[in-house]
Amino acid sequence: GSGAILLLGINAFRKINNTNGFLYGNKVLLALSECLEEFTEKSDRIYRFQGDEFVILSPDGSKDALCKLFEKVNDYCNNIRGLKSFSLSAGLVSYPEDGTDFNTLMSNLEHSLEYAKDQKQGWIAEFSEKISQRHLRTSRLHEALTQSIHNNFDGFELYFQPILDAKTKRITECESLLRWKTPEIQDATPYEFIKILEDSGEIREAGYWVMEEALRHAAMWQKKYNNISVSFNVSYIQLLDGEFIDKLIATAKELQVDPRLVMVELTESCNADDTKMLSLQFDKLRKLGFKIAMDDFGTEYASFGLLHDVSMDVLKIDQKFVRGLIREGNKTDMAIIENVVNMCRQLSIQTVAEGIETEEIQDIIRSIGVSYLQGYLYSKPVPAAEFEQMIMREQC
């Protein structure tokens, strides 16, 4: 026969559960399943798939009809009595076009749902060749990443990008940025492979490698040059186990790094309960002299909520505001940066402007009073040896 199948999942269901408790989570699931019962056709069959996912099999039905069903159900989820609004994402296949056996259809559905969630939450993705290719690439990268990790992080390297004091324009810091390459895979961007590491949980292992590597360089440069501090990036999930902090403290001690020359950049935010846990961990680090930075300020991840709950030393203004400064007549980005900088001054938080690519932007940024400068205008991230040459050139 022929027909269509929809796989739908609740966006950020884990977060809904974590924030409101699993009893509330169950209510959400129940409300959704009742709504599906009500909105589907008599001939449709509904299955609970796994966790927060439901399958709707529509024998003789069309993808069009299931698309409309999705829209309707998704709208309804905005407005259920007694529940906070939530949203859905979905994958869609038809048979026999997208597969003739159960396993193929189900895996194509899962890849489509995954794709929908990555692209834009609250979206429906029809299975296509592109989705299948993308899934293949992700699995290939994932496999190679795992192999690299097992091979003692073969193929991983830290690059360093200079950060300049805005007043003197001298290099005072650098940010460590992870690179990964294998003989077969040369073109994976950090955004791409770090997301895979985060999704698989392997970011924790990789993160420890990054931490040690960053501290090793900090120790070396601390002896050779004066006061160059090193920052490295940490995803929020790396901090969940609480071991991270102790390991950082122990490693710094072992390598005899002055904690005041080490900065942790938090790249993602989290819900309120976790923020409390984070701020306790960060306070412990700050008491020892380590610096804490909040990355990408102004994006959906990092904003005022986190600023309110977590005390920090440095705030990194997201590139999108910095870049916006050239667009003529764009007063918004200017106003945002000015106000963020003023606010930080009052709170004794230092600011970094990322993504400075032109003299023009640099001059505006300096006139606003941002504390530190970072961007391609000065240098791209480079291997350690090249970074050292930059410092040496400056110091003689």
The candidate with the shortest Cα–Cα distance to 232, out of 270, 206, 255, 196, is 206
β-sheet bridge partners, residue 4: 58, 94
Query: Residue 274 interacts with ligand C2E (CB under 6 A)?
Result: no
190 binding ligand C2E? (CB under 6 A): yes
Nearer to Ca ion, 268 or 388 (CB): 268
The one segment of 15-23, 129-137, 188-196, 279-287 that binds ligand C2E by CB under 6 A: 188-196
CB of 322 to ligand C2E, least distance (A): 8
Stretch of 28-36, 106-114, 331-339, 352-360 contacting ligand C2E, by CB under 6 A: 352-360
Distances from the Cα of 255 to the Cα of 58, 85, 286, angstroms? 62, 50, 19
Cβ distance to Ca ion smaller for residue 32 or 210: 210
The secondary structure element, H or E, covering residue 373 is strand 372-373
Q: Per the omega criterion (within 30 degrees of 0), is the bond before 59 cis?
A: no
Stretch that binds ligand C2E, among 27-35, 40-48, 67-75, 371-379 (CB under 6 A): 371-379
- For Ca ion, the binding residue among 98, 173, 212, 265 (CB under 5 A) is 265
DSSP 60: T
Q: Does 219 bind ligand C2E (CB under 6 A)?
A: no
Within 91-150, the residues that bind ligand C2E by CB under 6 A are: none
CA distance 110 to 343: 45
Subset of residues 145 to 174 that bind ligand C2E, contact rule: CB under 6 A: 161
The residue among 32, 7, 188 whose CA lies nearest residue 114 is 7
At residue 150's C-alpha, the angle toward residues 149 and 151, to 5°, is 90
> And the tokens for 51?
């966790």
Q: What is the DSSP string of 301-316?
A: SBSHHHHHHS--SEEE
| Interaction of residue 295 with Ca ion, rule CB under 5 A | yes
Is residue 212 near ligand C2E by the rule CB under 6 A? no
Q: How many CB atoms lie within 10 A of CB 133?
A: 10
Nearer to ligand C2E, 11 or 379 (CB): 379
The dihedral over CA atoms of 215, 218, 220, 222, expressed in degrees to the nearest 10, equals -140
* Chain residues 276-295 in contact with ligand C2E, contact rule CB under 6 A: 295
Residues 322-351, interacting with ligand C2E (CB under 6 A): none
Binding partner of residue 381 among ligand C2E, Ca ion, none, CB under 5 to 8 Å per kind? ligand C2E
296 binds ligand C2E (CB under 6 A): yes
Considering the rule CB under 6 A, would residue 235 count as an interface residue with ligand C2E?
yes
75: three-class secondary structure by DSSP: helix
102 binds, among Ca ion, ligand C2E, none (CB under 5 to 8 A by kind): none
State yes or no: residue 375 binds ligand C2E (CB under 6 A): yes
Distance CA(149)–CA(159), nearest Å, equals 18
Residues 6+ apart with CB under 8 A from 121: 11, 12, 87, 89
Q: Tokens 């790396």 sit at which residue?
A: 238
Q: Decide if residue 267 touches ligand C2E (CB under 6 A).
A: yes
Footprint of ligand C2E on this chain (CB under 6 A)?
161, 177-178, 189-191, 194, 203, 210, 232-235, 267, 295-296, 354-357, 374-376, 381
Footprint of Ca ion on this chain (CB under 5 A)?
233, 265, 295-296
